[in-house]
Amino acid sequence: MQQLVFATNNQHKLEEVSAKIKGRFKLLSLDDIGCTDDIEETGTTFRENASIKSHYIYQQYKLNCFGDDSGLEIDALKGEPGVYSARYAGEHGNHAANISKVLQNLHDEKNRKARFCTVISLIWNGEEHFFDGTVEGNIRTELSGTEGFGYDPIFEPEGYNITFAEMSMDQKNSISHRARAVDKLIDFLSTTSGL
């Protein structure tokens, strides 16, 4: 079975992508390949950060791999938190603090329109390919739901009256930004390598 490295150790992301891939190829994490390096995301766009991750892994390990970068863009905050979504409140990965800062910054704001964006950079046999996905929605005024991660408890996707955090993984995986980007990745791999 073909192997593909996902340049992450984020368990939530790995579970979501594994559920989409459904065993078409063996998905490896950074842990699986023995990479303990902290790959610095120094880009100013999702595309740049995704590319930094995939290039790092390909250069170090010479394995087919992909990196992703995702974030929440809120219209009333001029696109914030954007590429800084994971560390919006300062500390990387402090979801509660990040959500709290978003809700504070949107206090009394009527325009709650937002979107989640994902960009995937795949390096396959030495060539880079990009895939993206977006889901439009609105920011709730308070948290709702316990599933998912990150900003899921305050993000209500367009056409739904529940948040990502109130959805099952299957439900979220049918409409999310990451799922849409991964669908394009899978289509590409199916066409080019028969996976």
DSSP structure class, residue 80: -
pLDDT given at position 99: 98
- Burial code (b: 16+ CB inside 10 Å, e: under 16) for 12-47 equals ebbebbeebbeebbebbbbeeeebeeebebeeeebb
| Contact indicator for 73, 114 with CB cutoff of 8 Å | yes
Mean pLDDT confidence for 104-121: 97
CATH of the domain at 85: 3.90.950.10
Residues whose CB is less than 8 angstroms from the CB of residue 124 and which lie 6 or more positions away in sequence, other chains included: 64, 189, 192, 193
Question: Catalytic residue among 69, 108, 152, 187, which?
Answer: 69
Q: What is the pTM of this model?
A: 0.93
Domain range for residue 147? 3-193
State how many domains the chain has: 1
Q: In this predicted model, what pLDDT tens digit does every residue of 34-51 receive, in sequence order? A: 999 989 899 999 999 999
d(CA 109, CA 67): 34
Report the alpha-carbon angle 13-16-19, nearest 5. 145
Q: In this predicted model, what pLDDT tens digit does every residue of 4-26 receive, in sequence order? A: 999 998 888 898 899 888 888 89
Q: Say whether 183 is catalytic.
A: no
